[in-house]
Amino acid sequence: MSRQGNSERKLAEKLIILNDRGVGMLTRIYNIKKACGDAKSKPGFLSDKSLESSIKTIVRRFPSIDTKNLQPLFPIRNDIIKSLSLYYYTFVDLLDFKDNVCELLTSMDAWQIQLDITVNFELTKNYLDLVVTFVSLMILLSKVEDRKAVLGLFNAAYEMIHNQMDQSFPRLGSMITDYDLPLKKLSEEFVPHSKLLLSAIKSLDSIYLLRNVPADTWRAELKLSLVGNPGQLLKAILSERMSAEYLSLDTMERWIIFGLMMFPQNLQHESFSRLWSSALESSWVTPLFRDEVIHIHQYIWSYFDTIKGYSKRVSEVKECYTLAVQKAGYKHRERRKFLRTALKELGLILTDQPGLLGPKALMVFMGLCYARDEVLWLLRHNDNPPQQKSKGKSHEDLVDRQLPELLFHMEELRVLVRKYSQVMQRYYVQYLSGYDAIALKHMIQNLQVCPEDESIILSSLCNTISNLSVKQVEENELFDFMPFRLDWFRLQAYMSSEKSQMNIMDNKDLAQFFDTVQFHTRMVDHLDTIVTETADLSIFCFYSKIFEEQFHMCLEFPAQNRYITAFPLICSHFQTCTHELCPEERHHIRERSLSVVNMFLDEMAKEAKNIITAICDEQCKMSDKLLPKSCAVLIAAQINRKKKDKNKKNVVDLEKPGKESYRKTRENLTTMDKLHMALTELCFAINYCSTINVWEYTFAPREYLHQHLENRFARALVGMVMYTQETNEIAKPSELLVSVKAYMNVLQTVENYVHIDITRVFNNCLLQQTQPLDSHGDKTIASLYTQWYSEVLLRRVSAGNICFSLNQRAFVSLTPEGSIPFNAEEYSDINELRALAELIGPYGMKQLNETLMWHIASQVQELRKLAETNKEVLIMLRTNFDKPDIMKDQFKKLSNVDNVLQRMTIVGVILSFRQLAQSSLTDVLDQRIPFLLSSILDFRHHLPSGDPLKVVSEMTSAAGLPCKVDPTLINALKMQKPDMDSDEHVTVCLLMVFVAVSIPKLAKMEASFYRASLEGHANNIHCMAIAINYIFGALFTICGQGDIEDRMKEFLALASSSLLRLGQEADKEAIKNRESVYLLLDQIVQESPFLTMDLLESCFPYALIRNAYHAVYKQEQAMA
């Protein structure tokens, strides 16, 4: 493309580079302005009180600075250089940029370039962009508060170090003072460039006025409608000004306003006046960069006021301002309303028929561009309301509760374009090679004038697109048409010179056709860039307060909930607003976008969790109404109704469960209906995309919901236990299970709305509830019930008035006192314990077991001490068991007999409860894992040579199955006394003797009466049977002498001989409940895996036991 001597051939490159450089400079000046305007981030020297007078001197005398008067700066001169160098050299770069822009603009005037947006689009757009960037920079520069202080301080410090000022400072100081009133200086500087600039602005007439129309005009023209003209549905959209179709209205208004305000004398021309008025009536603020704006009308009329004879122009601007304040808000509101439905329709049709993205791509980008312009307008005007209050509803028009819907449809179209990019590539590759290349060849052949160089270039461009094939798309080949577009831009720049033999104005058809072709190439290789150009919403990064307000407004407005996912998706745009010339801001923007997306997703999940919780609570209340206890009210009401039939007027119908399901009309929404609707909408948003990529991070919205549901479910589980430490109240396990199942049923339905694994939530939470503490270190269901049963229920049983009933398999209250504050049977019957086993599972039951065994081990420790105390007497009793007289005398010497019996009873009560709990666990496991349970039973039954490693015993015990010797009890006892004494076996034997010879004393007790109806003694001494077998089985196993059966036979012999002596007892008090105590011996043998009925018969006549059963049954009947 290079041709010696024609420096204008570099015009395209210069424009591209300077425009990019200009955006970088704007970014840097913007950051300096923000830093200087914030007390926290501004350089420390500017706020230092000791330097205040020096800074005032610098600002007052700027740019003439005498360092002799600035001695306080001398000690910190190096610090000033270090701190302010970035600021200072940014202004130096700005000076350099200004020089390059002025040079290029002068060169373009000299080359007599012709500009027309409808013909040489790239050249005109880049030229106008450069002018507006330059003007914006100079205005922004004048708004930097401490510019003189920063530059003056740096130069003074520099001069102190180097004894001369920085070489750039004189020109820099001159630029700063010249642009104190930027518009005046700009007007002077742009006088030589007026012809070219005004011709470019004039060419906007045909585009801008057609675009800046009310929403009603768009409706009438069927704008953005795919179905408005069904006959054209499959045909590609053709336009003479392809690139101009998706040119931002916001950009055009800046071109017009910033361009024409420098040449007020040209506003008398009708075309300029029309553009000027239309642009000024559209808004009352104009952006400089990001969220930096100027109230344009006031800015212009304050400048016009300084020019003589411009009072008429001032009044025109004021009139435009009044119209803008009164009408612009409504106009833009209606446009947003139109775009919401238009983009929704586009999204629905293109989702259904993605193939239409090929021919209708331009319409998608037009829609995105129009919508983006409206979002930008709303943000800027919402943040900068009119300075002068006006009548009307302008403020209401600046608050859009339906903005999330528009943002969502924009995101939806962006997703579709990215998802079906290959569809679009295939279409446009075929378009370029099958139509564009042929038409271009034909055009080149028919050119009237085509010099050799231009001919070579045009042929090269034609060959580039004619060699394309669909196969390249299928093979995922990377396309790059940047050289093609750059060559066209260079050729355009060359042809736009009046000196050119082949003038672009004489070849408008060729220029317009090339504009269409370059759009087609962009559809193949530059889709991401064009999506960013037309739909980038990174501006929200700088309007963070409005961004968050809009999010929360959307969260509170159920009708917009489904669109809320647009907010976290927009955070992924923030990366595009950074610039390589200002790398220091990347970190802040990155942190901002990550924190905002995290906050949005967390809030969405939290709101969904709150809705689900409300539904769960409601469902728990409804399931609670179905519990048997709730029926009592209805039964009582029915009985009362029969009594009060005469007074029928006062009868009040009680509402029965299920009544809420009957509806008279669907129009009356219940609270549950509203909650379900809100949940559906919000879950749609959470489920919309599986991941959101922001910078190098990937966020998963569903995981946020999963985490919140898990935490909430865990807290709800513990909350539903309703444990109150002060009153020791707790929920019945069966009622808790009903509530948990109701809760789980609701959570299960969440899977209908969101693709999350609720089973994972259940597994994580319910498994944690079987452990002593959950993952947050809080108490669990298992620990609360373990604590309550071991410390509340069993202690109340030990206190009396509650009996363990073998036939009812529960602890039963014997007196009214026993049922205060709660009925023991309501918490200890088999149904309650099965419910408990289902809730806390084998792990939780193991925890309960271990706690109970710890209590038993503590009691055994005390029993050991009592045996040690009576050691000598017990040895005598053991050796003389067949000598009644000696036994009688020695027994009288025993101390703490009642204590031993009481402790053995307590152990028995604990073991009885534990046996109930274990059998309940087995029942539950039999329902849940029958095959696994049967395998465990087989192991237990068929294990050869015992169980030396105690593995099978522990496994069977964990499944709730009974063992000959309980492994959990053995472990607990070993922990209490890890070191075995040499005489441990003797101590255990003596303890056994102590218990055996003490049993007859039970007959004396009033409460030892056997209640046949409950199959238990009133004072729970029948529980001693299980205690004796378990305790001595475990203790003798620990001793390791292998003599359990022999020792248990010895126990039976001692106990039976002691009981037989009761028959010879003359004292009636001593044998008050003799028959009831005889039955204890029978129960000991029945519970024992080591003793048999034959053995009992040999020691104690079974006739006595049979007669005892007969007597107690008869006695209970007589008492009744």
Looking at residue 487, its pLDDT comes to 93
Q: Is the pLDDT of residue 654 over 50?
A: yes
| Whole-angstrom Cα Rg for the chain | 46
Residue 918 pLDDT > 70, yes or no?
yes
**Antiparallel, parallel or unpaired: β 810-813 and 1016-1017:** unpaired
What pLDDT digit, counting tens, does each position of 567-583 carry? 999 999 999 999 999 99
In this prediction, residue 350 carries a pLDDT of: 96
CB 31 within 8 A of CB 96: no
What's the chain's average pLDDT?
90
> Mean of the pLDDT values across residues 112-130?
95
Residue from 832, 856, 839, 842 nearest 911 by CA: 856
For residue 118, the 8-state DSSP code is T
Q: What is the reported pLDDT for 652? A: 61
What one-character-per-residue DSSP string does 431-460 give? HIIIIIHHHHHHHHHT-S---HHHHHHHHH
Q: Is 812 helix (H, G, I), strand (E, B) or coil?
A: strand
**What pLDDT is attached to residue 3?**
44
pLDDT higher than 50, residue 5: no
**pLDDT score recorded for residue 963:** 87
Distance between CA atoms of 1108 and 613, rounded to whole angstroms? Answer: 60
Q: Provide the residue count of the chain.
A: 1120
- Convert 628-647 into a string of H (helix), E (strand) and C (coil): HHHHHHHHHHHHHHHHCCCC
Burial 536-569 (b: 16+ CB within 10 A, else e): bbbbbbbbeebbbebbeebbeebebbbbbbbbbb
pLDDT at residue 666 tops 80: no
Q: What is the mean pLDDT of residues 72-80?
A: 78
**Given this model, what pLDDT does residue 309 score?**
85
Residue-level pLDDT at 10 = 87
Indicate the DSSP class of residue 426. Answer: H
Specify the pLDDT at position 171. Answer: 92
What are the two backbone dihedrals, phi and then psi, of residue 1041, each rounded to the nearest 5 degrees?
-95, -5
Please report the sign of the dihedral spanned by the C-alpha atoms of residue 27, residue 28, residue 34, residue 35.
positive
Q: What is the pLDDT of residue 391?
A: 56
- Is residue 414 within 8 Å of residue 343, measured between CB atoms? no
Amino acid at 963: C
What's the rounded mean pLDDT across residues 286-315?
92
Tell whether the model's pLDDT for residue 1 goes beyond 50.
Answer: no
The reported pLDDT for the residue numbered 4 is: 37
pLDDT of residue 2: 42
Of residues 212 and 1072, more confidence is placed in 212
pLDDT tens for 588-631 read 999 999 999 999 999 999 999 999 999 999 999 898 888 888 88
**pLDDT, tens digit (0-9, with 9 covering 90-100), for 1018-1067:** 999 999 999 999 999 999 988 888 888 999 999 999 999 888 888 777 67
Interatomic CA distance for residues 969 and 93, integer angstroms: 84
Over 50: is that where the pLDDT of 780 sits?
Answer: yes
Give, for 772, the enclosing helix (H) or strand (E): none
Nearest of 859, 162, 243, 907 to residue 512 by alpha carbon: 243
Q: What is the mean pLDDT of residues 799-809?
A: 89
Q: What is the pLDDT of residues 949-1002, one digit of tens each?
A: 678 888 999 999 998 888 999 999 988 877 777 788 899 999 999 999 999 988
The proportion of the chain whose per-residue pLDDT surpasses 90, expressed as a percent, equals 66
- pLDDT at position 964 is 86
pLDDT band at 799 (very low <50, low <70, confident <90, very high): confident
859-872 pLDDT tens trace: 999 999 999 999 99
β-bridge pairing 802-805 and 810-813: antiparallel
Tell me the two tokens of residue 495.
Answer: 């042809």
Provide φ and ψ at 241, rounded to 5°.
Answer: -125, 70
Tokens of 755: 């693709």
Please say if the pLDDT value at position 59 is more than 80: no
For residue 399, the tally of other CB atoms under 10 A from its CB is 14
Residues 341 and 224 sit within 8 Å (Cβ to Cβ): no
Q: Average pLDDT of 385-410?
A: 82
Identify the sign of the CA torsion 637, 640, 645, 649. negative
Q: Reply yes or no on whether the pLDDT at 467 is more than 80.
A: yes
Mapping DSSP onto H, E and C, the string for 852-878 reads HHHHHHHHHHHHHHHHHHCHHHHHHHH
Quote the pLDDT of residue 6: 47
Contact 697, 666 (CB under 8 A): no
The model's pTM is 0.88
Are 400 and 383 in contact by the 8 Å Cβ rule? The answer is no
Report the SS3 class of residue 1011: strand
